[in-house]
Amino acid sequence: KYASYLSVVAGAIALSAVIPAGIGAASAAPVVFEIAFNQTETHPQFKALQMFAEGLKARTNGEYTAEVFPNELLGAQKETVEMVQTGTIAMSVAAASLLESWNPDFSVFNLPYLFNSIEEQKKVLNNPEIVGDLYKSVSDQSVIVLGSFTAGARSVYLKDRFVKTPADLAGEKIRVMQSDTNVQMMKHMGGVGIAMGQGEVYTAIQTGVLDGGENNEIVYSSLKQVEVAPYYSYTRHLMIPDYLVMNVDLYNGLPDDIKTILTEELAKAFDFEFDAFAADAAKARAEAEKAGGKFSEDVDMAAFRAAVKPLVDSKLTNDVTKTIYQKIEALR
Ligand code: GCU
């Protein structure tokens, strides 16, 4: 199934590669932006990306559109982000952690307890005055960040018990996303961070490679991780965004009017997703509960916040990260 999908995609890619960007004739074959997505079709980011595809198609009279490939069909995020770099596909959703390896300044958005709510995050993440330069800074790595989705707040879950304080995580092997900040974060939180792609987590917990994970309620429920780690404790330690990244040559090659439409349609899609996330997370929690998941609010957040403070300080090392951090604080 995977191989046949790849050949379909390879066909689409070959097609989009030979079509010069900006063709004027409405009768020409449409330019299709392939978007890699690692979550299911029920995720609010999927709905937002579908909205974007429809808006783009309608406003360009079908000359441009997008096709979203959910469920890691094109590969895990780390791989699909590399496919964007090489121009094999046009776009991918990428957890913020992954961009840190290209430009360490991105670590500012990977810090624990940076935001207190989705509303706070919304004021910052697509605000060009705060993120404009940062999002363009990775064009030397062949990508541009087009904008950001929320991924809610992440909390820790274990296979056999709740967590209240950092001491409760001692010796527990917890999956984290693939970045230095995330691995260090789990160490400060008291556990042992093991970096891997999201799709491997279920089996890793089931086979004892991991004792648990940390994620938002939507991933916890939709990827069925609740079945193998039913104790979800609201540490709410991380509100890390998901970026939409695009191949920079492809982006730069677009005519200006198409760039404008793309930006406007994406802005609508990002807004929609920020507004939809909380309700979808609540629904996901209810579904996880039906599947046997148990949720605890009995968490000493102040203790976790204090435990990760040295990490926050150690990552704000230059003017770029310090300035962004100060702007976030000013908006609170
Ligand atoms: C979040 C995020 C994803 C990411 C995932 C992960 O759910 O939305 O983009 O892949 O976490 O834990 O890897």
Ligand 1 atom closest to the Cα of residue 94 is 9
Distances (CA, A) of 20 to 15, 65, 168, 230, 255: 10, 15, 57, 51, 10
Cβ-Cβ contacts under 8 Å for 239 (sequence gap 6 or more): 114, 115, 118, 121, 150, 151, 152, 153, 154
Beta bridge partners of 192: 173
Distance from the CA of 27 to the center of ligand 1, in angstroms? 39
> Is 60 exceeded by the pLDDT of residue 1?
no
Pairing of strands 64-69, 294-296: unpaired
Cα–Cα dist 130/151, whole Å: 19
Domains, the chain: 2-98+116-150+242-280 (3.40.190.170), 154-239+281-331 (3.40.190.170)
Ligand 1 center to 321 CA (angstroms): 23
Of residues 150, 16, 38, the one with CA closest to residue 93: 38
**Cα-to-centroid distance, 4 and ligand 1 (Å):** 26
Tell whether ligand 1 has an atom less than 6 A from the beta carbon of residue 177: yes
What Å distances lie between residue 19 and 12, 32, 34, 230, 253, CA to CA?
A: 11, 10, 14, 49, 11
Residue 17 has pLDDT above 90, yes or no: no
pLDDT value at 257 more than 50: yes
Q: Which whole number is the average pLDDT over 111-118?
A: 96
Confidence of residue 332 (pLDDT cuts 50, 70, 90): confident
Average pLDDT of 267-282?
Answer: 98
Share of the chain above pLDDT 90, in %: 90
**C-alpha of residue 17 to centroid of ligand 1, in Å:** 29
Measured from the CB, is residue 148 less than 6 Å from ligand 1? no
Give dist(CA 260, CA 22) in Å, integer: 13
Q: What is the DSSP letter of 118?
A: H
Output the pLDDT for position 16: 47
Q: What is the mean pLDDT of the chain?
A: 92
Q: Region 7-13: what's the mean pLDDT?
A: 45
pLDDT over 80 at 205, yes or no: yes
Which pLDDT belongs to residue 29? 84
| DSSP labels, 91-106 | EEEEEGGGGGGT-GGG
Ligand 1 touching residue 174 (CB < 6 A): no
Indicate the helix (H) or strand (E) that contains 145: strand 143-149
Pairing of strands 91-95, 294-296: unpaired
Is ligand 1 within 6 A of the CB of residue 38?
Answer: yes
Share of residues in the chain with pLDDT > 70 (%): 92
Residue 41 CA to ligand 1 center (angstroms) comes to 14
Predicted ipTM > 0.95: yes
Cα–Cα separations (whole angstroms), residue 133 to 120, 144, 175, 199, 324: 20, 10, 31, 32, 11
**Three-state secondary structure call for residue 10:** helix
pLDDT tens-digit profile of 85-100?
999 999 999 999 999 9
Q: In this model, does residue 228 exceed pLDDT 60?
A: yes
Contacts of 79 (CB under 8 A, 6+ apart): none
The pLDDT of residue 39 is 95
Q: What sign results for the dihedral spanned by CA atoms 92, 247, 271, 323?
A: positive
* Ligand 1 contact via 219 beta carbon (within 6 Å): yes
Query: Positive or negative CA dihedral for 227, 229, 232, 236?
Result: negative
175-191, pLDDT tens digit by residue?
Answer: 999 999 999 999 999 99
Q: Residue 117 corresponds to which amino acid?
A: S
Structure letter (DSSP) for residue 44: H
Q: What is the pLDDT of residue 19?
A: 41
Asked whether 198 lines ligand 1 (CB < 6 A), one says yes
CA of 257 to the centre of ligand 1 (A): 32
240 lines ligand 1 (CB under 6 A): no
State pLDDT tens for residues 57-79: 999 999 999 999 999 999 999 99
Segment 102-110 mean pLDDT = 95
pLDDT in tens, 287-308: 999 999 999 999 999 999 999 9
Question: What is the CA(95)–ligand 1 centre distance, in A?
Answer: 6
**How far apart are the C-alpha atoms of 57 and 260, rounded to whole Å?**
14
Residue with the smallest CA separation from ligand 1 atom 11 is 215
Residue nearest to atom 8 of ligand 1 (CA): 151
Please state, in angstroms and rounded to a whole number, the distance separating the CA atoms of residues 137 and 132: 9
Residue nearest to atom 4 of ligand 1 (CA): 95
